[in-house]
Every structure is written in structure tokens, then in C-alpha cells.
């Protein structure tokens, strides 16, 4: 039996983000959507300053949201 495929990229951070900050990913995605029009690092820094998120976690959330928003 083959081992399950390892999750890669920003999605791999999601279980840790939910556990660490006590909110489902949908909560964080909604917050990022409200920052529409800002640059990636502006949103990352906002999540860090306003919500106490670590840099890696904030960057993973924002990168995922921005990738989903691209046509």
C-alpha cells in the first residue's frame, strides 16, 4: 500500500494555523479578502501586527488566497 501523498505548499501550514490561532481557515481567508487591493507583504504584515500571526503562517494564508484569486 502506497503512503499518502504529502501535502505541500501553503496548504501544509493550515492544520498548524488552525491549532495555533484557534480559528478555521475560512476565518483567515475572509480577513485576507477584506484587504483586497493591497500587496502581499502589506497583508502579511497586517496579519502579523493585528492578529499576532507568525510570518510563515501569515505568508502561507496570503499566498494561498492570492493564488486562488488569480484568473
Measure the CA–CA gap between 2 and 11, rounded to whole angstroms. Answer: 21
Which grid coordinates are listed for 43?
497583508
Averaged pLDDT score across all residues of the chain: 92
> Within 10 A of 32 (CB to CB), how many other CB atoms are there?
24
Q: Where are the domains of the chain?
A: 12-69
Measure the CA–CA gap between 60 and 63, rounded to whole angstroms. Answer: 5
Measure the CA–CA gap between 5 and 10, rounded to whole angstroms. Answer: 15
Residues 43/62, Cβ–Cβ less than 8 Å: yes
The predicted-structure confidence for 42-51, as pLDDT tens digits, reads as follows 999 999 999 9
Which grid coordinates are listed for 64?
494561498
pTM reported for the whole predicted model: 0.87
Amino acid at each position: 500500500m502506497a503512503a499518502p501523498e504529502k501535502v505541500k505548499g501553503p496548504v501544509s501550514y493550515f492544520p498548524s494555523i488552525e491549532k495555533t490561532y484557534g480559528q478555521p481557515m475560512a476565518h483567515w481567508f475572509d480577513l485576507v479578502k477584506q484587504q483586497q487591493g493591497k500587496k502581499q507583504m502589506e497583508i502579511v504584515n497586517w496579519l502579523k501586527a493585528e492578529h499576532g500571526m507568525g510570518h510563515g503562517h501569515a505568508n502561507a494564508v496570503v499566498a494561498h488566497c492570492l493564488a486562488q484569486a488569480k484568473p
